[in-house]
Structure 1
Amino acid sequence: MAHPDRFLLAGVMGWPVMHSRSPMLHNYWFKQHGLAGNYVPLAIRPEGLAAALGALHPLGFAGCNLTIPHKQQAMKIVDEVDTLARSIGAISCVVVRADGSLSGTNNDCYGFIHNIRQEQPGWRADAGPIAVIGAGGGSRAVCYGLAREGAKEIRLLNRTFARAKGIADEFGKPINALPWEQRHEALEGAAMVVNTTSCGMVGQPALDITLDKLPQGALAADIIYIPLETPFLAAARKRGNRTTNGLGMLLNQGRPAWKAWFGIEPEVTAELRAMVERTI
């Protein structure tokens, strides 16, 4: 779809936000599709989120992505939240409609599942039990996506048991919350384990988990992409497990956003992935 009459604008709102690789990703697509436009990082304090979202339409933005700490607060600000985002409990993408109203959706679930499919051909959510570590916004998107893909058993673990139980109670089957003390044993017989916490991210402590009971045929996944290999993934790789980092989740969640903003569904190519990897 050509847009010869206007300069296209989108961005990502967060606090902080300058570490984000989203501008590189989206500006690559502008260039690839020969479009005049720009995707910019928008450092927005939590108290300024409502004003910032309200300025999108007057400034000519097609929409924006949201990152920490705005994904839940934005649900109270936009005019409409779709069923998917409401189910997950967070917004990752805002679309500015023709009348200036704002709609919110969540593309993290799409990004996670498509990354796994792209990196691990033949992967199936129903291949066996899946252990998910963490109970924040990322975990909600991952659990929702896995359940929708047909997972029959999701073992959800979090340091604060009440948060994990809250998700399990809200989502229902196949999610079962387990106490943090059972995290090592919860890996027994698992076909997949996913870290959705910030543990292992640059500047954060490593994830406190022992992989001894994880079957060697299991897949270990992390939604972190800085660094590309967290200590958790490195430990899994060294013992023979397949691993997938979170970069592809970032790249793939941009595709439905572009479809909503500009009517184009771009591709996540090996060239794009390599370009972003070189900056990490």
Structure 2
Amino acid sequence: MRAYSEVIGDPIAQSKSPTIHNFWLGKLGIEADYRATRVTIQELPDYFASRRTDSGWRGCNATMPLKQGIAALVDAVDPFAARAGAINIVVPDEAGLRGSNSDGAGFLEPLGEMMLSGGHAALIGTGGAARAIALALTDAGFTLSVHGRTAGSASAFIEAIGIDADAFAIGEKGRNSDATLLINATSLGMTGHPPFPISLAGFAPDTAVYDIVTSPLDTPLLIDSRTRGMRSFDGLQMLVGQAAVAFALFFGQPAPREHDAELRRLLTS
């Protein structure tokens, strides 16, 4: 049987993960496939029950709304995924099915030299991706302020994941003036969603801006940051970083990252 991995979610047709993984499989000459499979929350137990006995299955990525529902269906959970309360990779191993989370590692990868100096990050959002991002940043030595729908929701988020951070409502200035990194970890600015509501005017010109939205890839927030001369990072950079973690687990070889420029052209054409 031909080996395969897949991404699961509901909806799933919009996922760029098959393009990324199949591109890498082709470059390495690996005889395997990577698919997109629609799975609802209600279907998750049956999905994993069937994959446990599938000798060709090498694992899956999971996207929303499934990340929080997987822990009860696997046999082991890696420490970071347990802290984040979300799983986006499941692989079969000697323990049975093991859940892990690559959101934090994927987010940090593009930051490069910023990781050496740390700084203060203003995180907008309190969802599943924001949890992993917040933990990764604090583990890397950043101080953090979290902006939620309300200051109370931001405080609850901080308490739930056990970090030391300041809490604000979205729209409050908070500690904008000393932020070295601004992150949009919400759907604000995504196609079909309200615009990102925070002005960059309150941030220093050398603040870096990171928007994890992937549709559109070039969000109004990132366009504004570039007009101000700010360094920017987009959601595709995080997505490729996440995918590289999963690819190595699924197929036993590092992703061929020397082809990143070609992959980006493919994904944005």
Query: Which TM bucket (shorter chain)?
Result: over 0.9
2:87 pairs with one of 85, 91, 101: 91
Any unmatched runs of 5+ in structure 2? none
In the alignment, what sits opposite 2:204? 215
TM-score, L = length of structure 1: 0.90
2:144 alignment partner, one of 139, 143, 154: 154
**C-alpha deviation, 1:263, in angstroms:** 1.3
The 5-angstrom pairing of residues 39-118 of structure 1 reads: 39-59=34-54, 60-97=56-93, 101-117=96-112
Cα displacement (A) at 1:272:
1.3
Total equivalences in the alignment: 266
My pick for the range that moved more, 53-62 or 78-87, is 53-62
Cα gap change, 1:264/1:190 in structure 2, threshold over 3 Å: closer, same or farther? same
1:126, distance to aligned residue in structure 2 (A): 4.3
- Tell me the alpha carbon deviations over residues 146-178 of structure 1, each in whole angstroms, 9 at most, x when there is no partner: 111111x20100113333212322344442212
* Cα displacement (A) at 1:275: 1.2
Aligned-pair Cα RMSD in Å: 1.6
Q: How many angstroms apart in 1 are the aligned matches of 2:163 and 2:77?
A: 24
Post-superposition offset of 1:204: 1.3
Match in the other structure for 1:124: 115
Identity level (%) = 32
- Alpha-carbon distance between aligned partners in 2 of 1:10 and 1:230, rounded to the nearest angstrom: 30
Alignment of 1:184-203 (within 5 A): 184-203=173-192
Instruction: For residue 144 of structure 1, report the CA deviation from its aligned partner.
Output: 0.9
Q: Is the 8 A contact 1:156 1:178 kept in 2?
A: yes
Greater than 4 Å deviation, 4+ residue runs = none
CA distance in structure 2 between the partners assigned to 1:161 and 1:76 by the alignment: 31
Q: Distance in 2 between matches of 1:277 and 1:175?
A: 36
**1:246–1:199: structure 2 CA closer, same or farther, 3 Å change rule?**
same
Match of 2:8 in 1: 13
Q: Distance in 1 between matches of 2:118 and 2:242?
A: 24
Per the normalisation by structure 2, the TM-score is 0.93
Structure 2 SS opposite 1:188 = helix
- Greater helix content: 2
Quickly say closer, same or farther: Cα 1:46–1:225, change in 2 above 3 A: same
For 1:93, the aligned partner's letter is I
CA distance in 2, matches of 1:98, 1:185: 47
Map 1:124-273 onto structure 2 (within 5 A).
Answer: 124=115, 126-151=117-142, 153-182=143-172, 184-268=173-257, 269-273=260-264
